[in-house]
Amino acid sequence: MLVSVVIPVYNGGEFLRGCLESVEACPSPEIECIMVNDGSEDGTKGLCQEFSRKDTRFRLIDKENSGVSDSRNRGLAIAAGDYVFFLDADDYMDATHWREILAHAAAGAFDMVEFGYCDLSVSGDVNEKAFPEGCDVARALLTTTLLNTCWGKLLRREVISGNGLKFREELKTCEDAVFILDFVQKAKSFTMQDCCAIYHRINPGGAMQRAKLENKLSDFGALFERRLLYLSENNDEQYRKAMYRQSFSVITDLLRTHAGKQRLRDVRKDFAKAMKDPVVQTIMAGCTIRSLSPVYKKIEYMLMSGGFYACMAAYFKAKWRLTPGNAGHTKDKP
C-alpha cells in the first residue's frame, strides 16, 4: 500500500462528494481512503457508506463527535500506507497530479513531500500559494504559513508511528501546524513541489473563525512555543527576526478578525485583555518598530504597545471592513 488518504469529516454538506470523487479519480489500487465521520448530523455517514460500497479502497470509521484531532488520530491508527496524505472534507484534489503524488510515494526518497495548493474563496476566486524561490523547510516553517497545515503532504507513516506522533486534542486551532513541527523535527528528508495539487476552500465558519480570541491566542501560543523549540535547533538570526515579524502579523490578523465580528465596546475590553497575554507580550518584545513593514504594521505596533485600546478597536474594525468580502458582515454598534 503506497498512500493512506485520511479525511476527517463533520457535517460534510455540499462539498464532501466532490472531495471523495477527487480521491476516487486516483488511477492506482495502491491507495486507501479512510473517512472518519465525527458524529455528523447530516447525510455525511450515508455518503461515506456509498463510496465504501462501490470502491473497496474506501473505508469508514464512524464515531461520536470528539473533534478533528481525534478524528485524524483515529485515521492514523489504522492507516496501512507507506505514506499518509491528509485531506479536509471541503477541499478536493486536482486529479491531474495523482500520478506525480504516487511517483513520489513509490520512490520513497523523502520523509515529507509538500505539494502546493490553491486557496478557493467563497466567491470562487482562486489564489495559488507558491513557495518562495530558494525556500527551505526551516524558513517555511518559521517565517511563513505555507507549512502550517497537515493536508497536502505525503508524510512517511513510519516517522509518525515510530515516534508516537499524534495531534494534540486539547488544541482547537493550530493543531495541524504543531503536528507538522513535531513531524519535521523527527524526519530527515524533505522536498517541496510547486504545483497546485489541492484546492483548499476558505471556510468562514471554520474552527479558527468560531473560536474565542483568548482561545485562539492560547492555541497560537502553543504553536509559537513549538516554533521557539525548533528555532533553538536551527539557530539563525535572520530566521528569528522573520519569525517574530510573521508572528506579529498573525496576532494582528486575529485582532482584525475579532474586531470585525464584535461590538466596539466589547472589542476594547477584549483587546485590553489580549495585550496582557504572555505570548503577545513575548512577540511584541521580540519585534522592533524598525523591523516592521509596510507602514501600517508600524502603526499597529504603536497602537498595541501604547495601550490605545479604543483606537485599536476602531482601526482594526475599519481594516476588517476594507478587507474584500467583509463589507456588510460586521457588528458596528458601539
H or E element: which one contains 156?
A: strand 153-156
The residue ranking higher by pLDDT, 195 or 22, is 22
Q: Which H or E element spans position 83?
A: strand 83-86
* pLDDT > 70: percent of the chain: 94
Judge whether 213 and 258 are in contact, CB under 8 Å. yes
Residue 325 has pLDDT above 80, yes or no: no
What average pLDDT score do residues 94-115 get?
A: 94
pLDDT bracket for residue 21 (50, 70, 90): very high
pLDDT score of 205: 59
More confident of the two residues 6 and 142: 6
Query: How far apart (Å, rounded) are the C-alpha atoms in residues 212 and 234?
Result: 33
Instruction: List, for residues 144-194, the tens digit of each pLDDT value.
Output: 888 889 999 999 999 999 999 999 999 999 999 999 999 999 999 999 888
Question: If we measure between CA atoms, which residue out of 53, 41, 52 comes closest to residue 12?
Answer: 41
pTM beyond cutoff 0.85: yes
How far apart (Å, rounded) are the C-alpha atoms in residues 19 and 198? 10
What percent of the chain clears pLDDT 90, i.e. is strictly above it? 77
The pLDDT assigned to 98 comes to 95
Report pLDDT digits (tens) over 241-266: 999 999 999 999 999 999 998 999 99
Highest mean pLDDT among 139-148, 231-240, 269-278: 269-278
Nearest C-alpha neighbor of 290 from the set 258, 245, 328, 321: 245
Is residue 138 scored above 90 in pLDDT? no
Q: What is the pLDDT of residue 334?
A: 44
Residue 328 clears pLDDT 60, i.e. is over it: no
pLDDT category at 137 given cuts 50, 70, 90 is confident
Strand 3-9 relative to strand 83-86, pairing:
parallel
- Tell me what pLDDT residue 235 has: 76
Q: What is the mean pLDDT of residues 135-139?
A: 80
Name the pLDDT band for 333 (thresholds 50, 70, 90).
Answer: very low
β-sheet bridge partners, residue 155: 84, 112
Tell me the mean pLDDT in the region 264-283.
Answer: 95
User: What's the average model confidence in pLDDT over 83-108?
Assistant: 95
153 closest CA partner among 120, 203, 200: 200
User: What was the pLDDT predicted at 210?
Assistant: 61
What pLDDT is stored for residue 29 in this prediction?
A: 95
| Most confident among 55-59, 121-125, 318-322 (mean pLDDT) | 55-59
Domains observed in the chain: 3-205 (3.90.550.10), 211-322 (no CATH)
Kindly state the cell numbers that stand for 176: 495541524
pLDDT of residue 332: 52
Query: Each residue of 286-311: pLDDT tens digit?
Result: 999 999 999 999 999 999 999 999 99
